[in-house]
Structure 1
Amino acid sequence: MIVRLTGAFLRAFLIALAILTPSLLLPDVGSDAAQVVVLVALAAGLFTFMEYASQFPSILEFRFAPPVNRLRYFTMFGMVLMLTVYLSGPALESPIATLLMRLATLMAHALDFPYSPVRLVILSLPADTPTTVIDMVRDAAGIAYVVAAIGLIVFSVIVRVYGWPVRYGAFNVWINLPLFDPTGGGDVISRLKRDSIVNIVLGFLLPFLMPAVVKLASSVIDVSGIGNPHTLIWVMAAWAFLPANLIIRGVALARIAEIIEEKRRRAYAEARSEDAMQAA
C-alpha cells in the first residue's frame, strides 16, 4: 500500500509540474493566469493521485501496462518544456535556449512545405497576423510535431522490437481498458481492430483537420491571442499531442487484438489436438 501511494503521489507531482512549467519559466506571467494554472495543476494532480492510489480501474487506460502512460507523459512534457524554453529563450539567456531556438527554426522550415500540417497551421492564422507571430507559430508547430513523431517512433520500437506488452508481464484487459466492455456485443478481436483503425486514422487526420476547422470557424473563434507565449504553448501541444495519443492508443489496441487472436488460435489448435488424441 505504501508503495502504491508513493507512486501515486510521484505521478501526481509530475503531472502538476508539467502543467506549471510554462508559468515557472515564462517571463511576465500575470497573477490571474498563474492562479488559474495552479488550480488546474492541483486538480490534475489530485485526479492522478486518486486514479493511481486506487486498486480498481476507473478511467485511465493502460495503468498496469508500462510504459504506455510514461511515454505519453514524457512526450507531452517534452513538448511543453521545449516550447517553454524556446519561447522564453531571450529571458533565460542560456546556451541551451539559444541552441533550441536554432533547432526549432531548422525543424520548422524542414516541415514547412505545401499541404504539411505546419503550413496548414500558418494558413489558419488571420491575414493581418504580424510576421513575428507567424514565425513564432511556425517554429512552435515544428517543435511540437517533431517531439510527437519521436514519441510515436519510440512506441513503435517498444511494440515491435521489445514485444510490448508480453515482455512486461501479463496483460489484463479489464484493468488496462476499463472503458472497454468485452461483453458489449460482437467479437472482441473485431471490436479492438475496429477501434484501432478509427484511432489511427483519426490521429493521422487531426493535424490536418484542426487548422481547417479553426479557419472555417474564424468568425466565431478568436485566434488573435495565439501570439501570447502561454497560449501558444498549450495550443501547439494539444495540436500535436492529441493525434499522437490517438495513434499510440490505436497501435496498442491493434497489438492487444493480435495477442488475443494468437492465444485463441493456440487454444483452438490444442483443443483439436486433444480431440484427435481421444479419437485415436
Structure 2
Amino acid sequence: MRAAMVVMLIVMPSVLLTSGSDDSAQIIALVAIFAALFTIVEYSASSPSLVEFRDAPPFNRVRFSALFATVLCLSVIFRGDAAPSAMTQFFQTSGTRVGETIDFPYSPVRLMLLMMPEDTSPMALAQLRDAAGLSYVISLFSIIWFVLLLRLQHWPRRGGAFNVWINLPTFDPTAGGDVVKRLMRDGRINIILGFLLPFLIPAVLKIAMNFGAPIRLVEPQTLIWTVSAWAFLPASIMMRGVALARVAQMIHLQRKRAYERAAAEGLLAA
C-alpha cells in the first residue's frame, strides 16, 4: 500500500495534466518504479537504513499526506487550464485567495515572486503566487496537525516501546556527548532551519540565476514539483526537529524515573 501511494504521488501530475513529452513520461515511470522498490525494501527490512521514525506513526504519514495534498491541489489547479470544471474552478479560486492573502512584503510567497526574471509574464507570476500560497498553507497545517497528534496520542511511544536504533538509523548514540543534549541540539537546529528555509531557498535560487542558471517555472509539472519541494522540505525538517525534541524529552523522563526508582530502593549512594 505504501509503495502504491508513492507511485500515485509521483505520476499524479503527469496523469492529471495533458502536457509533457513521451520521454518525460518514461522518466517519471522509471522514477516511480525505483521509489516503489525503495519503499518496499525500506519498510520490509528488519534493520534500519535511511527512513527515520519507521515504527513511530504517524510521523511519516503526516509528512507524506502533506506532500500528497500539495501535489494534488496544484495538479488540479493547473488541470483547469486545459479541462476546466467545477472542481478545478474551486481549487483555482481557493489558491488565488490564499495567494493574495499571503503575498505581502517579505513573506515567503513574495520572495518566490521576486525570484523570477523580470520578463516573466503576469499570468505566470499569478500562477506561481497561487501555487506558492496554497502550498505554504498546507505545510503550515501539516506542522500544526503533527504537533496536535504528538500531544493527543503521546507520541512516539503510544503505550509501546520506542526503539531509537530502528527509528533513528542516522543517529549514532555512541558518537560522544550526552544523548539528550545532542537530540535537543539537533531538534533546535532543525526547527530553526525549517523556519528559515522558505526565505532562504528563493534567495539561493535567485543567486543561481544571476550566475547563469536560469529557472523557468513555465511548464506546469516543473512548477508543481518546485513549489511542492519549496513548501514541503522546510515543513518536514521542522517536524523532524519537533520529533527529535520529543524523543529527547522522553529519554530524559525515563532517566529521571529510573533514578527516582533506584533512590527509593536504596541502590544509589547517599
Compute the TM-score of the two structures, normalised by the length of structure 2.
0.96
- 1:269–1:106 distance in 2 versus 1, CA, 3 Å: same
Counterpart in the other structure of 2:192: 201
Match of 2:120 among 129, 144, 152: 129
For 1:164, the equivalent position in structure 2 comes to: 155
Deviation readout 1:119-165 (Å, 9 max, x if unpaired) = 00000101111111000100010111011111111101011222111
- Tell me which residue corresponds to 1:192: 183
- Correspondence 1:90 to 2:103: no
Q: Which of 202, 208, 222 pairs up with 1:211?
A: 202
SS of the equivalent of 1:164 reads coil
**1:276 Cα deviation (Å)?**
7.8
Alpha carbons 1:65, 1:168 under 8 Å: kept: no
Alignment length, in residue pairs? 269
Contact 2:56 2:157 in 1 (8 A): no
1:28 deviates by: 2.2
Q: For 1:46 and 1:170, locate their aligned partners in 2 and report how far apart those are by CA, in whole Å.
A: 28
CA distance in 2 between counterparts of 1:85 and 1:38 reads 20
Q: Is contact 2:17–2:79 with CA below 8 Å preserved after alignment?
A: yes
Q: Displaced runs of 4+ in structure 1, greater than 4 A?
A: 276-279
Paired amino acid for 1:146: V
1:35 to 19, 26, 31: 26
Q: State the alpha-carbon separation in 1 of the partners of residues 269 and 64 from structure 2.
A: 53
- What is the CA distance between 1:168 and its match in structure 2? 5.5
Structure 2 spans left out of the alignment, 5+ residues: none
Identify the residue that residue 221 of structure 1 maps to in structure 2: 213
Please report how far the alpha carbon of residue 232 of structure 1 lies from its aligned counterpart in structure 2 after TM superposition. 0.2
Matched to 1:46, the amino acid is L
Pick from 243, 254, 267 the counterpart of residue 258 of structure 2.
267
Corresponding residue number in structure 1 for 2:229: 238
- Asked if structure 2 preserves the Cα contact closer than 8 Å seen for 1:16 and 1:44, the reply is yes
SS across alignment from 1:231: helix
Q: SS state of the match for residue 173, structure 2? A: coil
Identity %: 48
Q: Please give the root-mean-square deviation of Cα atoms over the aligned residues, in Å.
A: 1.5
Q: How does 1:138-157 map to 2 (within 5 A)?
A: 138-157=129-148
Q: Is 1:113 aligned with 2:123?
A: no
Q: Partner residue of 1:20?
A: 11
CA positional deviation for 1:40: 0.7
Q: Distance in 2 between matches of 1:77 and 1:198?
A: 26
CA distance in 2, matches of 1:46, 1:191: 33
Q: Residues 58-94 of structure 1: CA distance to partner in whole angstroms, max 9, x if unpaired?
A: 1111110011111111111100000000111133322
Match of 2:90 in 1: 99
Structure 1 residue runs without a partner (length 5+): 1-9
